[in-house]
C-alpha cells in the first residue's frame, strides 16, 4: 500500500510514530526555469551593472561565477 493512499487520520497517527515518514510523504517541489526567466534575470543583472564599463562588468561577472562555484 502506498503511504499517499492513506486517509488523513491514519497518516497523522503514523507521522507521530515515525517522523521519517514525513520526508517520504512530502511533495517534491518542481520549479520550471524557462528561457524567459533566464532572460529576465540577465537583464536585471545588466541593469545593476549598467554604470560599469564593459571590462569592469566582465570582471564583476567572472568574480560572481567564481564565487558561485564555491
Residues 21, 1 share a domain: yes
Q: Are both 26 and 46 inside the same structural domain?
A: no
If asked whether residues 40 and 55 sit together in one domain, one would say yes
Question: What gap in Å lies between CA 39 and CA 23, rounded to an integer?
Answer: 34
Alpha-carbon separation of residue 30 from 16, 18, 27, 68 (angstroms): 27, 26, 9, 22
Predicted local confidence at residue 29, as pLDDT: 72
Q: Report residue 3's pLDDT band, with 50, 70 and 90 as the boundaries.
A: low
- In the structure grid, which three cell numbers stand for residue 18, read together? 515515525
Same-domain pairing of 24 and 39 = no
Q: Which domain range does residue 21 map to?
A: 1-30
The total number of structural domains in the chain stands at 2
Q: What is the pTM of this model?
A: 0.49
Are 42 and 19 contained in the same domain?
no
Same domain, 21 and 42: no
Kindly report, residue by residue over 14-44, the tens digit of the pLDDT. 777 776 666 666 677 778 889 999 999 999 9
Do 39 and 62 lie in one domain? The reply is yes
Amino acid at each position: 500500500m502506498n503511504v499517499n493512499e492513506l486517509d488523513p487520520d491514519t497518516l497523522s497517527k503514523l507521522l507521530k510514530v515515525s517522523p521519517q515518514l514525513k520526508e517520504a510523504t512530502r511533495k517534491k517541489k518542481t520549479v520550471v526555469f524557462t528561457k524567459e526567466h533566464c532572460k529576465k534575470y540577465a537583464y536585471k543583472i545588466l541593469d545593476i551593472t549598467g554604470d560599469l564599463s564593459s571590462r569592469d562588468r566582465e570582471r564583476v561577472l567572472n568574480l560572481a561565477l567564481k564565487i558561485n562555484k564555491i
